[in-house]
Amino acid sequence: MREFLRTRALSFRYAFSGWWFVLRTQRNAWIHAIVSVVVILICLWLRLPLRDWAFIIVAMTMVWMAEFINTALEAVVDLASPQQHYLARVGKDVGAAAVLISALSAVLIGLIIMGPPLWGRIQAIFFSK
């Protein structure tokens, strides 16, 4: 049992090490982090129902997972192909496209869920008498 707990603790350590690597080395991860915090704050301000929170969390997770997988893919491609190669570029471009698709999808989900209540709040603040 002790060995099991030790290896689980190491697994978490490795995972957090990877997380820190992404935040330290990937400029877009900081954009994702800032946008995530802003979205969470807006959702709190709008007092969204739990069901809407679930969709927002899934959308944000989708973007973060794509960014992490893309970073891992780039590292493996760089290791396997230190010289420039057409297929290495294709692999990196496809990984970047996955991040873009997930980010655009998250924006659409955010607009669908947060758009109407956010617009209502903005109207109440700026256009009410």
Q: Where are the domains of the chain?
A: 28-126
**How does pLDDT run across 49-95, given as a tens digit for each residue?**
999 999 999 999 999 999 999 999 999 999 999 899 999 999 999 99
Q: Is the pLDDT of residue 128 over 80?
A: no
| Torsion angle of C-alpha atoms 100, 105, 107, 108, degrees rounded to 10 | 150
Q: Which CATH number fits domain 28-126: 1.10.540.10, 1.10.3720.10, 3.30.470.20, 1.10.287.3610?
A: 1.10.287.3610
CA distance linking residue 8 with residue 33, whole number of Å: 27
Cα 105 to Cα 77: distance, rounded to the nearest angstrom: 26
| Contact residues for 11 (Cβ-Cβ < 8 A; gap 6+) | none
Q: What is the pLDDT of residues 4-35, one digit of tens each?
A: 888 988 999 999 999 999 999 999 999 999 99
Question: In which region does residue 47 sit, left (phi positive, over 0), alpha (psi from -120 to 50) or beta (all else)?
Answer: left
Task: Find, among 110, 65, 68, 70, the residue nearest to 92 by Cα.
Answer: 70
Q: Other CB atoms closer than 10 Å to residue 40's CB: what's the count?
A: 14
CB of 62 closer than 8 Å to CB of 106: yes
